[in-house]
A = this chain, B = another copy of it.
Amino acid sequence: MSRRQQPKPNTADHNGVSVIQSQAHATSSSPSLPAAITGLQQVPQLIPANPSAAGGKSIPPSKMKKPSVDKDSEEYRQRRERNNLAVKKSRMRSKQKAMDTQQRVNELKEENERLEAKIKLLSKELSVLKDLFLEHAHNLADNVQPPSGVEGASPVSNSNPTNGQ
């Protein structure tokens, strides 16, 4: 059933073995290396749990499900390295995607502004034309037939910016 747990903020690992971090880059891709990435080598050897040190009951010495992972294995290291590579790649893509999305937002925002400006312009034109129409209609109504006297009938005299949408 359950595994054993820690009486206190213990440090348990995935399976049952402490994982030892290590490093070694095949492809160095660190834009901002810390300061001294030195290639120390230490090797990760599993450290058998020490049941008599941590504060609590550690696991029974006889119950390690998968000691089968040989960290020493040639193949293991190879797989790890490949995976590390894949991980880097994946993360790079992820970041790139995020940036692209942000970029897209900016582009769309810009386009939106352009469209809004265009709408504003069209609206204005439309309102002007409509006014002209109204004006003309009034002229027709008022003096259907301009008496042969004054011919200075100016059809254009806007004065009513009735704007609507």
Contacts and interface: CB of A to CB of B under 8 A. Distances in A.
Interface in A35-92: 36-50, 53-54, 56, 58-59, 72, 74, 77, 81
A42 B21 contact: no
B50 A45 contact: yes
A115 to B, nearest CB: 4
A4 B39 contact: yes
Interface in A11-27: 11-24, 26
B17 A42 contact: yes
Contacts of A16: 38, 40, 42
Residue in A116, A125, A133 whose Cβ sees the most chain B Cβ within 10 Å: A125
A61 to B, nearest CB: 12
A39 B5 contact: yes
Contacts of A15: 38, 40
